[in-house]
């Protein structure tokens, strides 16, 4: 079981650490709304990674050809959602700045931890490449791949824990950023910069 835990941790960090559009959006949302909402968002991303890790160990080789035809539409859908969210965040930030309301931690979206969890779960689940990633790792390990139910459970939980720890670290970074940039201009600049970065990364997702 130890081998399965180590493999799961490495797989979880491998998929989580490269910061893409979702990670950038996670930091931006936490900076605007606070730690609790950031935790909800982080756990949403980690849950999606855990679901895909579970699907991979349960039958990743069979799922790859099934998912292949929908990968491009899913990537486009994910990119489109992220662009819309980034544009909306920038528009809200500008509107709040014009009315001197940007000093508030809330950007007007009333994003609760539960809603943040569901939003980020949905965004992340739209990327079927994650299950392909986990399936490739499982298949590459050959005979040492997690086989029994105990090893498979340990692998999935370890991958989930690794992803969650990294996403929570990103949320913490967003919290510290939000506390540092308390001025209206600083918060506006951060909102616009993060929205621009999210759009660029979303475009690269389908590039």
- The domains of the chain are located at 2-205
Q: Is 142 left (phi over 0), alpha (psi -120 to 50) or beta?
A: left
Q: pLDDT tens across 130-154, in order?
A: 766 766 665 555 445 566 778 888 8
Q: How far is CA 91 from CA 31, 74, 107, in A?
A: 16, 26, 10
Q: What is the pTM of this model?
A: 0.72
What is the average pLDDT across 168-192? 76
Q: How far is CA 35 from CA 71, 112, 116, 143, 181, in A?
A: 33, 11, 11, 42, 15
What is the average pLDDT across 86-107? 65
User: Residue 147's pLDDT is what?
Assistant: 64
User: Residue 172's pLDDT is what?
Assistant: 92
Higher-confidence residue of 16 and 113: namely: 113
User: Residue 128's pLDDT is what?
Assistant: 64
Percent of the chain with pLDDT over 70: 69
Dist CA 170 CA 63 (whole Å) = 30
Lowest mean pLDDT among 84-98, 153-167, 181-195: 181-195
Dist CA 174 CA 183 (whole Å) = 16
User: Residue 80's pLDDT is what?
Assistant: 81
């Amino acid at each position: 079981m130890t081998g399965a835990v180590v493999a799961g941790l490495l797989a979880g960090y491998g998929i989580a650490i490269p910061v893409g559009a979702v990670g950038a959006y996670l930091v931006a949302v936490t900076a605007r709304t606070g730690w609790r909402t950031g935790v909800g968002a982080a756990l949403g991303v980690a849950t999606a990674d855990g679901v895909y890790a579970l699907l991979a160990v349960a039958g990743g080789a069979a799922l790859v050809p099934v998912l292949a035809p929908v990968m491009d539409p899913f990537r486009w859908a994910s990119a489109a959602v992220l662009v819309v969210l980034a544009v909306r965040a920038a528009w809200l930030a500008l509107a709040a700045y014009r009315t001197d309301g940007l000093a508030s931690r809330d950007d007007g979206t009333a994003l609760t931890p539960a809603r943040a969890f569901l939003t980020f779960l949905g965004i992340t689940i739209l990327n079927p490449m994650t299950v392909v990633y986990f399936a490739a790792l499982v298949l590459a390990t050959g005979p040492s791949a997690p086989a029994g139910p105990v090893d498979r459970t340990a692998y999935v939980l370890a991958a989930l824990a690794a992803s969650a720890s990294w996403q929570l670290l990103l949320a913490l970074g967003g919290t510290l950023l939000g506390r540092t940039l308390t001025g209206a201009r600083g918060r506006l600049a951060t909102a616009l910069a993060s929205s621009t970065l999210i759009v660029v990364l979303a475009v690269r997702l389908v590039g």
